[in-house]
Structure 1
């Protein structure tokens, strides 16, 4: 059973007036705009080449999302170099950013608790380290959250709670190390962000593995450039001591 859909399949399987088509249409319009280029060139290219996959679990919980993510990770390399899994939640009343942040990190923590695959040995469990990344199905995955509560940071806004999973290998040779090529790629993203958002690019954006880089800080960016917060020291094995990690003020 396929748990996710291609771009064409979304239109074929969900009626035009359904919430799934409404949130997807907004996403599609944002990434394909010629007058306001979307900052993430990976997402833009992936959509154009039909390499992105989409899911609409209702409700979006660790239990409903885990089999979708497991299926995607097992097949992702067949979809193309610029693939990602974009997961949409059903729209509802807009909540505070802090509530969406808590929901997001609870979702990732729950997913790691359900994951049965061994974690790559080179990826530490502690978030506050240069080489940490969310992992599932044996794959390191960069994760981005978009919400209806984002106003100034439009690059992180969506009609509904939305989470994008990008396999770490998508960035290999492009933005995975501090090289001239990766610096040019990051500069391009920053230029687009400056034109797209009503707030300067987040200073936390950096290169994976760099000594001062922390991947978790880039997952959920708020509407200020305060240092992002995360409620965990590590995911999937939380204890009372683990649930006290606050790095900076909640935006």
Structure 2
């Protein structure tokens, strides 16, 4: 299988300055490297600075292609470093509503679950409404973050195009292995969120496994702190839905 995801220098060498890939990546780099306005996700910033992140550009957004690249990334992720993630960039298109992006996001995860060639991890519940549930692919539990151009107040979840970040669960386990380490990390994230967003930190953010928390609610955060729409799935890959069509009207 041909590897399509790239390191920082490979991105710069692969795309001309005026391309959409270069424009989006420059925006991302400015966000990750700013000292004056530090990005809240300290794990992502560390991964960027240590060149442990990998970057995938898809146009159109094809779930089969994404699945193949995600499986390849998972298979070699531990060799990239302790703060690795796969960052998916898609071509900018007309901006839609947050509700539309929310539905698109969950359709993509559902389609990935359908094409996954590995069994769901035995220790991860398949029912989404469970504190121990986590999206999994190629046998690996993965925390997923969705960023969109429709986010305004929550700038920590804003990008100029629909963007997904796939962060293996083991990354957090290494960093947040103790209560003290977790408290310190979450405290730093919340301290950075306060000046970064123009809304308060989401009450949905919390530690994995908290009996009162749900991981799926953290994947896609709305601008306000109102309860999010109900997840459209009780369990992924159970209800047949139309494929995501990445056309001009679908951002």
TM range (shorter): over 0.9
Q: 1:227 & 1:61 partners in 2: Cα distance?
A: 30
Matches within 5 A, 1:133-172: 133-172=134-173
- The structure with higher relative contact order (CA 8 Å, sep 6+) is 2
Aligned to 2:206: 206
> Given that residues 7 and 53 in structure 2 are in contact (C-alpha distance below 8 angstroms), is that contact kept between their aligned partners in structure 1?
yes
SS at 1:125 equivalent? coil
Q: Give the number of equivalent residue pairs.
A: 239
Deviation at 1:64, TM superposition (A): 2.2
Aligned to 1:227: 227
Aligned to 1:245: none
> Given that residues 175 and 208 in structure 1 are in contact (C-alpha distance below 8 angstroms), is that contact kept between their aligned partners in structure 2?
no
Aligned to 1:190: 190
**Unaligned regions of 5+ residues in structure 2, if any?**
242-251
Deviation at 1:238, TM superposition (A): 2.4
> Given that residues 118 and 137 in structure 1 are in contact (C-alpha distance below 8 angstroms), is that contact kept between their aligned partners in structure 2?
yes
Task: Give the TM-score normalised by structure 1.
Answer: 0.92
Task: Give the TM-score normalised by structure 2.
Answer: 0.92
Post-superposition CA distance 1:10-52 (Å, at most 9, x none): 0011111100011111011011111100000011000000000
SS at 2:58 equivalent? coil
**Unaligned regions of 5+ residues in structure 1, if any?**
241-251
Deviation at 1:59, TM superposition (A): 1.2
Q: CA RMSD, aligned part only?
A: 1.3
Could you list the runs of 4 or more consecutive aligned residues of structure 1 that deviate by over 6 angstroms after TM superposition?
none
> Given that residues 150 and 156 in structure 1 are in contact (C-alpha distance below 8 angstroms), is that contact kept between their aligned partners in structure 2?
yes
Aligned to 1:248: none
Deviation at 1:173, TM superposition (A): 4.0
Deviation at 1:227, TM superposition (A): 2.0
Aligned to 2:36: 35
Aligned to 2:247: none
> Given that residues 82 and 174 in structure 2 are in contact (C-alpha distance below 8 angstroms), is that contact kept between their aligned partners in structure 1?
no
Q: 1:105 & 1:59 partners in 2: Cα distance?
A: 18
Deviation at 1:176, TM superposition (A): 5.9
Q: 1:226 & 1:60 partners in 2: Cα distance?
A: 30
Aligned to 1:174: 175
